[in-house]
Amino acid sequence: MLATIIFNALWVGFLGGVLASLVRAGWQQLFRTEEATKTEALSIGGGVFIDFSRGLFLLMSIVLIIVFIIWANYDSSITQGSGTLFGLIVWIVIDQNYKVVTKQKPFFWHLPWQQTVVEIIGFLLWGWTMYLVAIGLPISGVYF
């Protein structure tokens, strides 16, 4: 049974992680500041750039939705708030604690409040999208 849950979580997690990361990137693209658009990207020629931060977030989304699906199969309390609770937990643990400790960015109270609101809403939409994909594909085992 665990092998079936993990197998289903892998392919549903891949689909959901890609979609959720695109939703979050699209949301944050609406509210980009001039300094936020200056990212470290690698040019591969012909005007094509690779943005490693978005690539890492895509991989993180895939891994975290797999964790979300496996967790929801054993304890459905994580689906409270239709996945937005999970998005808020990820924002607190990863975006606030990990990135601050590794000095990738300052605490949210050192940023403009508008940027913090956009980030929080982006993670809430990200978690909600993961939840919608998980319940939309019933093979994942996550239900209402």
The DSSP annotation for 31-81 comes to T--TTTT---EEEEETTEEEEHHHHHHHHHHHHHHHHHHHHHHH-GGGGTT
Q: What is the pLDDT of residue 72?
A: 87
pLDDT class for 18, splitting at 50, 70, 90?
very high
Question: How many distinct structural domains can be found in the chain?
Answer: 1
Q: What is the pLDDT of residue 42?
A: 59
Q: What is the pLDDT of residue 39?
A: 53
Regarding predicted confidence, which is higher, 44 or 88? 88
Q: Is 120 helix (H, G, I), strand (E, B) or coil?
A: helix
The answer, yes or no, to whether residue 143 has pLDDT greater than 80, is no
Q: The tokens 């978005």 sit on which residue? A: 54
**What is the pLDDT averaged over residues 92-121?**
83
Q: What is the pLDDT of residue 38?
A: 52
Cα 137 off chain centre by: 18
Euclidean distance between CA atoms 122 and 113, whole angstroms? 14
Euclidean distance between CA atoms 10 and 67, whole angstroms? 9
User: What tokens were used for 36?
Assistant: 């936020």
- Residue-range definition of the domain harbouring residue 49: 2-140
User: What tokens were used for 134?
Assistant: 């998980």
Cβ atoms of 126 and 22 closer than 8 Å: no
Single-letter amino acid code for the residue at 121? I
